[in-house]
Amino acid sequence: MSNFKNEIIELNEDTVLKLLEEKIANNENPLMIMEEVKGAMKIIGDKFENKEYFLPDLIMSGEILRQIMEKVEPLLKESKKGETEKRGKVLLGTVEGDIHDIGKDIVKFMLDTNGFEVLDLGVDIPAHVFVENIMEFKPDVLALSGFLTLAYDSMKETIQKIKNEGLRDSIKIMIGGGTVDENIVEYVGADAFGDSAVEAVKLANKWIEV
């Protein structure tokens, strides 16, 4: 495991920021930096689930993430300069019963810097709120996030409600977070899952180009 990723997991804020400055000075690819961050955040999430980390640790990791993103976001935007036209619309949110937002925030950040217009509804979002926003915002893609296993039933309920309203054929749905895999995609009725923010961007690109 890289030193940078490990220091994030250990919540060593000063060392993380020092190593980040070195990476930026060495012109490291900002996408690769964010992949390391995402991997570290997943392990922090696992530690929280396993009761090795607690809420103050989660808050600390969110603060470290915010500082990393402050420095990396301008670099990602710089690398995408000239791509002013929005590629498509993505509606994003963490489903009802779940308040995890670290993964969701990274996905939003990556979609945004890759030229998508993103509407982030936040966390603990009931099914009917997703439906209302699909009707108003008219997104090409819906991204449902959930870290806890209880989120799968909320995802399923949300997608069922979208079907009931006759909106399912007009939108592609990706899910992500925690231990999401192909089985969960099938269970909830989504189109695909992204196991990283880079994967989420790839899926959105693929669907919008079709």
Number of domains present in the structure of the chain: 2
Residues 101 and 190 in one domain: yes
Condensed to tens digits (0 to 9), the pLDDT of residues 130-180 reads 999 999 999 999 999 998 888 999 999 999 999 999 999 999 999 998 778
Residues 96 and 159 in one domain: yes
Condensed to tens digits (0 to 9), the pLDDT of residues 155-165 reads 999 999 999 99
Hey, CA dihedral for 138, 141, 147, 153, is it positive or negative?
Answer: positive
Q: Of the residues 79, 99, 117, which one is the last residue of a structural domain?
A: 79
Q: Of the residues 28, 55, 79, which one is the last residue of a structural domain?
A: 79
Q: Of the residues 49, 79, 109, which one is the last residue of a structural domain?
A: 79
With 80 as the cut, is the pLDDT of residue 1 above it? no
pTM over 0.75: no
Q: Which residues pair with 90 in a beta bridge?
A: 118, 141
> What CATH number is given to the structural domain containing 121?
3.40.50.280
Q: Which domain holds residue 133?
A: 89-209
Residues 100 and 64 in one domain: no
> What CATH number is given to the structural domain containing 40?
1.10.1240.10
Residues 160 and 181 in one domain: yes
* Residue 179 to residue 100: CA distance in whole angstroms: 14
Long-range contacts of 28-33 (CB under 8 A, 24+ apart): 30/72, 30/75, 30/76, 30/79, 31/76, 31/198, 33/4, 33/68, 33/72
Is residue 20 in some structural domain?
A: yes
Residues 93 and 159 in one domain: yes
Is residue 84 in some structural domain?
A: no
